[in-house]
Amino acid sequence: MNDLKFAFRQLLKNPGFTAVAVLTLALGIGANTAIFSVANAVLLRPLPYRDSGQLVWVYRQNVALGYNRIVVTPGRFCNLKERNTCFSQMASLRPNDFTLVSDEKPQLLRGLSVSPNLTEVLGVTPVLGRGFRPEEGEDGSHRVALLSYGVWQSRFGGNPNLIGKSIRSDTDTFTVVGVLPQNLSFPLGTLAGAATTLKHAAEIWTPAVWTADQKAGKNGDGAAHVLARLKPGTTVQQADAEVRIINQ
């Protein structure tokens, strides 16, 4: 106690030094806390997906122009999906904003247009309802939606009877088939070229629909990000080498 009293008196005698010392400690502690929070989330804590070490992004490159992450056209995606031997599953996804229209105030939701098998690729199961079915990626059968846990709670009050009910966007009507897990945070900022949505996680998923011409590579519209799951025992280097050959 005597030591503490002496130190306190010395600090009061030197207010300038005291202010600098306290500020330095505050900045140091704050910076270390922030760095640890990022390191814990990115490096230490496992991703909330089954066997997350098997998940990889697949991008195109243009070395001459210095582009390392170019989205994949539907034709290239279908070709790669058919010919590869290194992935157990592949899925496409691209940002797609969704304006939710109801009796309440219209709400802009950050969304993803995804392959119906994205939940399977990630290895996650909806906490309510089900995931997308393969046929729901076909035109005319795609008007279904998966909601994030946060939107289900904030907009719909966690209503367990929401499954099978319709929600409206400004362009179409969708049937809610499932609610995604609470710990499933899929930040759109992890996608290349998604600078406008860096701080937002996907709040609604809808099935992606490609035309026959897009799948055949006759139309480059609909380019998307590709997420794949490596087969057990396959390395990233092996997959990279095979993907390059198929792409050529």
Q: What is the DSSP string of 43-105?
A: IISPPSSTTGGGEEEE-EEETTTTEEEEPBPHHHHHHHHHH-SSEEEEEEEEE--EEEESSS-
Q: Are residues 12 and 64 in the same domain?
A: no
Which has the higher per-residue pLDDT, 238 or 191? Answer: 238
Q: Are residues 9 and 102 in the same domain?
A: no
Tell me which DSSP letter residue 192 carries: T
Cα 99 to Cα 154: distance, rounded to the nearest angstrom: 15
Give the total number of structural domains in the chain. 2
pLDDT tens track for 7-59: 989 989 999 999 999 999 999 999 999 888 877 766 777 777 889 889 999 99
H runs (alpha helix) in 123-204: 149-156
Q: Are residues 108 and 21 in the same domain?
A: no
Q: Are residues 70 and 31 in the same domain?
A: no
Q: Are residues 240 and 218 in the same domain?
A: yes
Q: What is the span of the domain harbouring residue 7?
A: 2-44
pTM (2 d.p.) = 0.76
